[in-house]
Amino acid sequence: MSDLTELASQLRFVLVRTSHPGNIGSAARAMRTMGFTGMTLVAPHRFPHDEASALAAGADDVLENAALHAGLVDGLAGTSLALGLSARRRGVDLEELSPREGVARALAAMARGEKVALVFGNERTGLENEELARCHAMIRIPSVDDFSSLNLSQAVQVMAYEMRIAMLGDQAPAAPVRADAEPPADAAQMERFYEHLAQTLDDIDFHKGRAPTTIMLRLRKLFQRAQMDERELRMLHGIFADAQRMASIARGKSGEQ
């Protein structure tokens, strides 16, 4: 098991009194896409159900392995941190976190080897005060005040995504360095490149009597942005040399110089 998979297995998505089996399936899919498989169902109204399987869209393993419990206390067994998801501030005195703060808190506990629960409420009534009271803090996804309630499985998706982003951020290796990577051009090489470019523009009569200062500044800006490597520089030097050669032939033909 990779480190990330092992860490992900310490998180459980706990769905409480879910009414629509389709939402359970969609939640399973949302979790699975972000690498999470631990689902706990507390007193689901209808489960197992064809609609759950249909909307899981292949994440059947999550549904098959879902833990089923009659009450939230049992549903939280084994976890040491429970974060309740709620669209509205409830009548409970519970610390309110943003999704990112909640994710940071969850990951810190998971890194210590603890099991963490994200608790989601019923579609119509949300989490009851009594259920929130079993949680250590609540997380509110910052939706707009006058339309604050997300679909249950979409709230699951937001949290699964935030968890994954944070986990990837912690674990992502630095940008891979390829063994055959060309070294980037250094400042002195870039200066020689700009001299060659300026000389070439002169040779092909690009400026036509205008002052070259502004155009050279613009070209510098363009090429600096490209952060070229040595091979790319050699290629451009080659193109300039050919352009200079052709310009010199053309000058010879037209009898100049």
Residue type, 153: S
Q: Any idea what DSSP says for residue 68?
A: E
Min CB(231)–ligand SAH separation in Å:
51
Nearest CB to ligand SAH, comparing residues 82 and 233: 82
Task: Show the tokens assigned to 180.
Answer: 């055959």
- Is the CB of residue 174 less than 8 Å from the CB of residue 184? no
137-139 vs 96-97, strand pairing mode: parallel
Q: Which is nearer to ligand SAH, 83 or 167 (CB)?
A: 83
Residues that bind ligand SAH (CB under 6 A): 85-88, 120-121, 123, 126-127, 139-141, 143, 148-150, 152, 155
Residues in the chain: 257
Please say whether the beta carbons of 79 and 156 come within 8 A: no
- CB nearer to ligand SAH: give 62 or 138: 138
Contacts of 253 (CB under 8 A, 6+ apart): none
Pairwise CA distance, residues 110 & 38, whole Å: 14
In the complex with ligand SAH, which residue's Cβ is closer, 114 or 123?
123
CB of 62 to ligand SAH, least distance (A): 18
* Residue with Cβ nearer ligand SAH (38 or 193): 38
Give the shortest CB-87-to-ligand SAH separation in angstroms.
4
> Shortest distance, CB of residue 140 to ligand SAH, whole angstroms?
5
CB of 106 to ligand SAH, least distance (A): 14
